[in-house]
Homo-oligomer: A and B are copies of this chain.
């Protein structure tokens, strides 16, 4: 037999197929933002997207798969980082970006739902990891430049510095009811910078045996 069933949408990705995917992902995002992962009913998504139920079930199958595809789509829309010339300035810009994203009602709910999906399904978890890899890779240079400038000790795990900015913001989003305000972003940036300067993220001996 020939290439009989290479999942739908891959052989004729143009025109209608692309429109359907865009509409479904948009609808899925809306549904997630409104009702969380529990509110993600594929039939409901189909209705919102004005697309046949069958199509959604055939192309995505499960809520987790749909979330995984949504994440892949989100990863492609990575924003360029801003450069300020100092570590604290760069981390502050990153913290503000993350804080604004998570504080936004739609985006915040969406991220919560996406993280919830990742705890249930391996495929969604893998997609989530790729998403954050992309984001960290985008921002990691700001820590690397700080090392080159001498602001941070040699041997600093630069990716870990960037993650240290996001961590408290996500922690607050998920475990407390307190609002994600500008002060929280500032604290996150200052704390990460201070910890990095103190060498908290130095993994091994800098160099030379």
Report the minimal beta-carbon distance from A125 to chain B, rounded to whole angstroms.
Answer: 7
In terms of DSSP, what is the predominant structure of the interface of chain A?
Answer: helix
A174 touching B113, Cβ below 8 Å: no
- Please tell me if A24 contacts chain B, counting CB pairs below 8 Å: no
A38: CB under 8 A from chain B? yes
Q: A113-B119, A126-B177, A164-B168 are in contact. List 7 more A-B contacts (CB 8 A).
A: A36-B121, A115-B174, A125-B177, A132-B176, A163-B168, A167-B172, A197-B198
Q: Which residue of B lies closest to A64 (CB)?
A: B38
Contact B195 A201 (CB under 8 A): no
- Are A177 and B129 in contact, with the CB atoms below 8 A? yes
Contacting pair B167 A187 (CB below 8 A): no
- Shortest 3 CB-CB contacts between residues of A and residues of B: A194-B198, A191-B195, A167-B171
Copies in the complex: 2
Name the interface residues of A156-209: CB closer than 8 Å to any CB of B: 160, 163-164, 166-168, 170-172, 174-177, 183, 187, 190-192, 194-195, 197-201, 203
A27 within 8 A of B: no
With both chains docked as a complex, state the minimum distance between the C-beta of A171 and any C-beta of chain B, in angstroms: 4
The interface residues of chain B lying within 8 Å CB-to-CB of A81 are none
Q: How large is the interface on A (under 10, 10 to 19, 20 to 34, 35 or more residues)?
A: 35 or more
Report Cα–Cα, A152/B87, bound state, in Å: 23
Flag whether A46 is at the interface (Cβ < 8 A): no
Is A42 in contact with chain B by the CB < 8 A criterion? no
Contact A128 B201 (CB under 8 A): no
A118 at interface, CB cutoff 8 A: yes
**CB distance B115 to A119 under 8 Å?**
yes
Residues of B within 8 A of A167 (CB): 167-168, 170-172
Tell yes or no: A120 within 8 A of B by CB. Answer: yes
Question: Which has the most chain B C-beta neighbours within 10 Å: A38, A129, A201?
Answer: A38
CB-nearest residue of chain B to A171: B167
Q: Is the CB of B163 within 8 A of A170?
A: no
Query: What are 12 sample pairs from A and B whose C-beta atoms fall under 8 A apart?
Result: A37-B116, A38-B120, A115-B119, A116-B117, A129-B177, A132-B176, A160-B187, A167-B167, A187-B200, A187-B201, A194-B194, A198-B198
